[in-house]
Homo-oligomer: A and B are copies of this chain.
Amino acid sequence: MFSKACEYGIRASVYIALQSMEGRRVSVNEIAEEIDSPIAFTAKILQQLSRSNIIHSVKGPTGGFEIERENMESVKLNMIVKAIDGDDIYKGCGLGLKECNADKPCPLHDKFVDIRSDLSKMLRNTSLYELAMGLEVGLTYLKR
């Protein structure tokens, strides 16, 4: 469904959001530890999210990553997915035709766009804040 990079990116963002709620800034090492991901690869993804203004990074000692309180609610999953995986999942044909277009649809088009639009809607409506809350109350987990 999502690329590994995107999965790590979402998990990392949720963890950063959780810690930012308590004013803590976190390092790549801590993030990778807490979400069980490869450190250097995670660092690359965080750079990408930082450049996309989804998370905020601070260099030097006491530096690390954080998410502004306001962004915690306004940043939705669809932004993270788009920043990392592009918009293939929102626009692409389920059977791999070069373009998905109702004027010349693939055999699966009608059924596929239903699913795709549900997924898209779900990602658009899900904020980091919401996901971080589930974590905070101990209902959900970022590794197992």
Contacts and interface: CB of A to CB of B under 8 A. Distances in A.
A144 interface: yes
Interface residues of A, number: 42
Interface of A: 1-2, 4, 7-8, 10-11, 14, 77, 89, 92, 94-99, 101, 104-109, 111-112, 114-115, 118-119, 122, 126, 131-132, 134-135, 139-144
Stoichiometry, copies per complex = 2
Contacts of A140: 105-107, 109
Nearest to A121: B115
A1 B108 contact: no
Contacts of A11: 95-96, 106
Given A1-B94, A10-B95, A135 B107 contact: yes
Contacts of A2: 94-96
A51 to B, nearest CB: 22
A78 to B, nearest CB: 12
18 contacts: A1-B89, A1-B94, A2-B96, A4-B96, A7-B95, A8-B96, A10-B95, A95-B142, A97-B141, A101-B144, A104-B144, A106-B142, A107-B132, A108-B131, A114-B118, A114-B122, A115-B119, A115-B122
A110 B103 CA distance: 35
A63 B10 CA distance: 49
